[in-house]
Amino acid sequence: MNRRAFLKSTFATLALPALESLSAKASSIGLSLAPAKSPMRMVCIGNSFGMYPESFFPKQAGANYQMTHLLAPLEAHRQDFSVFSHLDHDIKGGHFSVHSFLSGVKMSDAKGMPEGNISVDQRAAEHVGAETRFPSLTIGSEDGLHGGCQMCWTRSGVRVPPIQGPRELFRKLFINDDARARQAAADNFELNRSILDSVLDTAKSLERRLGQNDREKLDEYFTSVRDVEISLELDKRWRSVSKPEAPFQQPEDRSLVEDIPILYDLMAIALQTDSTRVASFEMAGAGFDTSFFGLNSGYHRLSHHGQLPERIEALTTIEHYQMVQLSRFLDKLKSIKEAGSEESLFDSTMVLFGSGMGNANSHVNSDLPIILAGGGFKLGEHKVYPSEKGKRVPLCNLYLSMLQRFGVETETFGTSTGTLRDLDFA
């Protein structure tokens, strides 16, 4: 009774959810029912152009660092987040390597890696599987530089397309299909299933006549097919389960900049309702409407500021807004109490903020701006790691620590050399 209660018969055992009346009964006879442990969640947030380094990184290490201009909006959460210096993936490529932010692996190098260029959020989503309606939610805009959001990748090297705007996210979370749509989905499932069975049978027959290189290509194809199969099975499993009741009216899309607050709110609700335990949000650069701030230059152009003070001021205005909204999101997570617990949603949600771009002005992917908040880690510091070549620590070490905290039983991720030292649990 300490963890769960069960219904038993001669042929089956069925686990019951936590029941208030059962807890009251246990209390009356002197027993204590511990609440089920809150599931761990992961949120990954990124932008395309990094953060202006001089306004982001503190000059002092440790807990007593002085807040910088871009960190100042997070002052109320000072004890609940850490900022990291000198973590990156040791790769080059400027804008064309930003896609490696959550994976640590460039697309061109993925084939030689055991897990390809799978991103940390999708590795966590694999662990969740069918426990939630959505193993992960990937949010962003396709109107970004070089093809839109490119933060989230499957192990077969397929980009996870983003949910664009609050209207689409709202409908995905709260709007149930009508009977006709459910039947169409069922018919579509059976059709796709028969197609997959057919092509797999043909492919397996072909495999016996191929050389080694072609077999490797075919194996990549099989992996992609398995991804589709998993997606179909998840859709079938949750099709008959009603979605949670919408907490407010369906929002309309405006611009990415204006929509950031409502997107954060919807992410928090998705976590609260256990619709998902993994969410990612990429603020792709070209879709970031700078006219919201009264600016007449685009985000990308301002990121190449050439050390001109007026351009730097405009750029940090955009970045400061992002940090204000991040702080608001952390406030939101802290305000939501876990069911039957004094803990907040923040306590069981690790929030990563950063970018695959270290300094867009000079097109470098080193010294990435990284913040980690929540998740039960011991935080509240500016953690400075070695900057000397040969002593640098991979950012994937942080991701490995996050995955292990999430419950994934693994000793490696991407280019990791181990977990991140000095990152303890609270």
Cα distance between residue 98 and residue 146, in whole Å: 10
Q: Give residue 254's pLDDT band: very low, low, confident or very high (50, 70, 90).
A: very high
**Mean pLDDT, the chain, integer:** 85
> 185-215, pLDDT tens digit by residue?
555 555 555 565 666 666 666 666 777 777 6
Kindly report the pTM of this predicted structure: 0.82
Q: C-alpha angle 418/59/319, rounded to 5°?
A: 85
Fold of 42-171+245-406: Alkaline Phosphatase, subunit A (3.40.720)
Q: Give residue 142's pLDDT band: very low, low, confident or very high (50, 70, 90).
A: confident
Q: What is the DSSP letter of 129?
A: G
SS (HEC) of 346-380: HHHEEEEEEECCCECCCCECCCCCEEEEECCECCC
- Strand 393-394 and strand 137-140: the pairing is unpaired
Q: Helices 256-272 and 165-174 sit at what angle, rounded to 10 degrees? A: 20
User: What percentage of residues in the chain have a pLDDT greater than 70?
Assistant: 76
Q: C-alpha angle 231/237/243, rounded to 5°?
A: 100
Q: What is the pLDDT of residue 277?
A: 98
Cα distance between residue 85 and residue 370, in whole Å: 7
Q: DSSP string of 33-44? A: -PPPPPPPEEEE
Q: Could you tell me how many residues make up the chain?
A: 426
* Pairwise pLDDT comparison (102 vs 189), residue with the higher score: 102
> 11-62, pLDDT tens digit by residue?
444 444 444 444 444 444 444 444 457 899 999 999 999 999 999 999 999 9
Q: What is the pLDDT of residue 2?
A: 41
Q: What is the pLDDT of residue 238?
A: 77
Q: Give residue 6's pLDDT band: very low, low, confident or very high (50, 70, 90).
A: very low
> 283-336, pLDDT tens digit by residue?
876 678 899 999 999 999 999 999 999 999 999 999 999 999 999 999 999 999
Domain borders along the chain are 42-171+245-406, 177-241
Closest Cα to residue 69, out of 81, 60, 57, 78?
A: 57
- Where residue 127 falls (left for φ over 0; alpha for ψ -120 to 50; beta otherwise) is alpha
